[in-house]
Structure 1
Amino acid sequence: MPIKIPDQLPASDVLRQENIFVMLESRASTQGIRPLKVLILNLMPKKIETETQFLRLLSNSPLQIDIELLRIDDRPSKNTPTEHLNNFYRQFEAVKNRNFDGLIITGAPLGLVQFENVIYWEHLQAIMAWAKEHVTSTLYVCWAAQAGLKLLYDLPKRTRKEKLSGVYHHQIHHCFHPLLRGFDDTFLAPHSRYADFSPQYLQEHTDLDILATSDVAGVYLASTKDKRNVFVTGHPEYDALTLHHEYIRDLGEGMEPSIPVNYYPNDNPDNPPVASWRSHGHLLFSNWLNYCVYQQTPYDLDQFSEENFTKDD
């Protein structure tokens, strides 16, 4: 089944060119199916690029999904046309009285900014608190994972001395956990962050199930026992060229970045990179939609209750 998105959303043309089945609102309204309601809080500057990346991963599921896009505030954007934001994004006030099956909170380029200095920190706190009562499962990606750990577990910001950038090998743990179904014992995934997620630190200070780690990148995937909060510290949604564009951007800003690890063939930026994480990304999102959202959520979202959720599969 397809994802359902607004008829004129730029991602619809991109996904159709990739032979991904996208159902526009005009057609979906004729079907008698209860789609999953998934809200995406997009914190990235280039919102059109980011929304397309996440929609691509959400599309690889037999479930019909009704997507809504949420912005954190109404400040003007330097990287996204105002018309696009006004046409396709909602403000929190417009959704706060509704329930959703899933919520995805994207990363943000705030790795070196202290939480208290993030201009929308209090607003983000309000949204995360709201999600406890209105969302079946929330997926926190990259910077949002660190923000979620701060707000849910009061963990302080932990920053690496150097930016972690590249594609890293990971090992799975708890191999029978629903989020890991179909995973190989090892897999590749991209990272681009300053945040530090030490397995030992999370084991000592949280009750999370730590599901995948890297000897270099630390914790990659973790979940609460009831699967209502899932933390992904990397970027499974990245396109093949996203790390390349970030590297070129940082070079242009005089930051002297290191070449992304295990990304360019022969570590030569003149060689086109190859996406080696695509299958893992699709599988992760399919598992989240099925086992953390669809299998847990009530059929009638108006009947949302903590009693719906179980800690064991």
Structure 2
Amino acid sequence: MVTWFLLLGLTERKELKGVLFVIFLLVYSVTVLGNLGMVILIRTNPQLHTPLYFSLSVLSFLDFSSSTINTPRLLIIFLTSDRSISFAGCVAQMAMMSVHGTAECLLLAIMAYDQFAAICHPLLYHAIMSQRLCMELVAGTYAIGAANTAAQTENVFRMPYCVPNIIDHYFCDVPAVLHLACGDTAAAKAILFLSSAAITLITVSIILVSYTYILVTICRMHHSLEAQRKAFSTCASHHTAISLSYGTIIFMYAQPSSSKSSDQNKVVSVFYTTVIPMLNPLIYSLRNKEVKTALRKKLQGKTQEKS
């Protein structure tokens, strides 16, 4: 029986490892600074103490955590020949990735509902999106993520594993690990597909319904072009983040694994575990007037303190 696995990483070409190490170290540094900076900015600026920015701070924390789960190990693989991971370590890494991935999908749906409440029912917004409800929704995302993770992890690791124990990936992703199982994996793969598809369909349905109502409401603002522009601007960042996240999720988990190669999986995995967590704080800061204003005031305050 297998007690440890060997991660192949992204590439076996030695001449690329040094370059990739520098690139991924830079990306990870930007991810950490951007997401933790976003959390600190939102928590320390009273003007950003709203339900939307509370959800955004949670999203930034999720992006920071999901990137930290596997990127440091990938950097180690680039530098050293130690590519082994214990069986328990593989279980833990897969579970943490699943929790954060599920929670992020649910959080994006919550943020879409928040946009719906803000644009379609502005007078009742604070009554609908109360602080207590926001806390309960975030707690619910983690609870559902934990339940889904428990089911998926048990689904994968109840299978018997024997040699070869080489995972053709840079972290313990579900399809890559299932590929090494000794027994029949058809049922396990079907459960993975159905679970991922169910979460995707539920959250996408919430997002589509919310944005349908938002679009109808915006179209009715024909008397005020400025109100329309502001409403579209408010939704633009969230729409970009949703497109990036769900595009990769659907490609990775909501289609049969037989239609994808391991190299495709690695490329898409890099995108949603490394690139998207780096881009999200940039998307929300560069396209959000309130965040840019808060950041400018914070930097000006720091400059004045130094002078």
With the shorter chain as reference, the TM-score category is under 0.3
TM-score, length-normalised on structure 2?
0.25
Higher helix content, 1 or 2:
2
Higher strand content, 1 or 2:
1
* Larger-Rg structure: 2
Higher relative contact order (CA 8 A, sep 6+): 2
